[in-house]
Homo-oligomer: A and B are copies of this chain.
Amino acid sequence: MIVALAGGVGAAKFLSGLVKIVNQEDLTIIVNTGDDIELHGLHVSADLDIVVYTLAGIVDDTRGWGIKEDTFHCLSALRDFGAETWFSLGDRDLATHLFRTNLLRKGRSLSEVTSEISRSLGLGVSVLPMTDDKFETRIVTEQGTIHFEEYLVKRGAKDEVFGVKFYGVENARPAPGVIEAIENADLVIVCPSNPIVSIGTILSIRGVRDALRRTKEKKIAVTPIVAGAPIKGPADKLLKGLGLEVSAYSVARLYSDFIDTYILDAVDHAEKDRIERLGLKVRETNTIMATVEDRIRLAKVALGN
Contacts and interface: CB of A to CB of B under 8 A. Distances in A.
A41 interface: yes
A70 interface: yes
Interface string A50-67: 000000000000000001
A18 to B, nearest CB: 25
Interface string A196-233: 00000000000000000000000000000000000000
A288 interface: no
B78 A41 contact: no
A82 B40 contact: no
Candidate in A73, A83, A102, A120 with the most chain B CB atoms within 10 angstroms: A73
Contacts of A77: 67, 91-92, 94-96
Interface residues of A, number: 30
A120 B81 contact: yes
B98 A78 contact: yes
A71 interface: yes
A283 to B, nearest CB: 40
A105 interface: yes
A96 B90 CA distance: 15
Given A81-B95, A83-B102, 20 more contacts: A40-B102, A41-B98, A41-B101, A42-B98, A67-B77, A70-B73, A71-B71, A71-B91, A74-B74, A74-B91, A74-B92, A74-B94, A76-B92, A76-B95, A77-B91, A77-B95, A78-B99, A81-B96, A82-B120, A91-B94
